[in-house]
Amino acid sequence: MKRIGMLTGGGDCPGLNPVIRAVVKRAYHEGIEVIGIKNGWKGLIENETMPLDLRAVSGILPRGGTILGTSRTNPYKKPEDVEKVKANIKKLGLEALIAIGGEDTLGVSAKLYKEGVNVVGVPKTIDNDLSCTDFTFGFDTAVNIATEAVDRLHTTAESHHRIIVCEVMGRHAGWIAVYAGMAGGADIILVPEIPIDVEEVYSLIKKRREQGKTFSIIVVAEGAKFKKGQLVTQEEKLDSFGHVRLGGIGQTLSELIEEKTGLETRVTVLGHIQRGGTPSAFDRVLGTRFGVKAVELVLQKKFGQMVSLQGNKIEAVPIEKAVGELKTVDLDLYNIAKIFFG
């Protein structure tokens, strides 16, 4: 094994640079050259690369984002793009590829592996919704940021006797909402897994008022739906993986609450704040462990595998299995959170 490639695809998140650094350092000890692919799959289509040596990764451990850049490019949208990816892998002399990303990036990896490309996957998403791994890096940092935001919203909500709705990320899974809501002491937590019953929301707010609580904090995941099943979106245009751009559930919910209860209601949308900035210590360590394990899988020629955290051990699982279905919030965990509602 002389040369491998590495890319980061999909949304950025804290912990990507620790993975990149770990891959380069582990590969260095084996005399393996690492080529960085710029901007995810787009870089392999257009053959945009950068050398990754020890100097290139020096000092990047605490940095958020990714020094390789990223994109939401899906090469399987056009058959000719898939051929370009394969041709450029060959042209660059890459004997293996480490793909770092979420369900979309790793979904492409699973397809390429079936077509003969030597791929190893590393799970990345702040939503923590990839199967076969207990946690993905980026999630812990996002939860810490969201929790701090909820803590800060408490003081202003209490001072003004307001209802404040805090919208957090979470397209199909409400892990951030549940963890940040529990850690921040939210009064109501709403997730994509369970349709929103607005009458129950009104009832819980009323119950708090009767108990002398003049404010309420509601944490809602961006992908939460009302019982009618309609997603609230910013626009109907789809990205290359067929996803709509979510956002607006917090505003819609706050307007309904104010109209129904007559109580002053405000909304705060955390958005990209959750996945920007310095990674937490947990995410730095997890990313480092993932990166080291990814190189070891390459050395062992265990392609088509994804590194994963299971308990406190880093294991390997088939990429295809990991992207087969999303990991949604455990209902036992949500039921614990519900004890504190209202």
DSSP string, 65-94: S-TT------GGGSHHHHHHHHHHHHHTT-
pLDDT at 237 over 80: no
pLDDT at 235 over 70: no
pLDDT-derived band at 251 (thresholds 50, 70, 90) equals: very high
Quote the pLDDT of residue 91.
96
Burial 280-300 (b: 16+ CB within 10 A, else e): bebbbebbbbbbbbbbbbbee
Is the pTM here over 0.85, yes or no? yes
Quote the pLDDT of residue 245.
55
For 169-210, what is each residue's pLDDT tens digit?
998 999 999 999 999 999 999 999 999 999 999 999 999 999
| Residue 64 Cα distances to 59, 128, 281, 334, angstroms | 12, 17, 12, 30
**Which residues are bridge partners to 318 per DSSP?**
305
Token output for 45: 């289509």
pLDDT at 131 over 70: yes
Residue among 12, 81, 104, 127 flagged as catalytic:
127
Average pLDDT over residues 104-131: 95
Token output for 206: 């009323």
Quote the pLDDT of residue 290.
98
pLDDT at 264 over 70: yes
**Structural domains of the chain sorted by starting position, each given as residue range(s) with its CATH number in brackets:** 3-137+279-322 (3.40.50.450), 142-275 (3.40.50.460)
Q: Is 127 left (phi over 0), alpha (psi -120 to 50) or beta?
A: alpha
- Give the count of alpha carbons within 13 A of 38, CB side only: 6
Does residue 239 carry a catalytic annotation?
A: no
Residue 166: CB atoms within 10 A of its CB come to 26
pLDDT-derived band at 248 (thresholds 50, 70, 90) equals: confident
Element holding 218 (H helix, E strand): strand 216-221
Least confident window among 114-123, 125-134, 222-231: 222-231
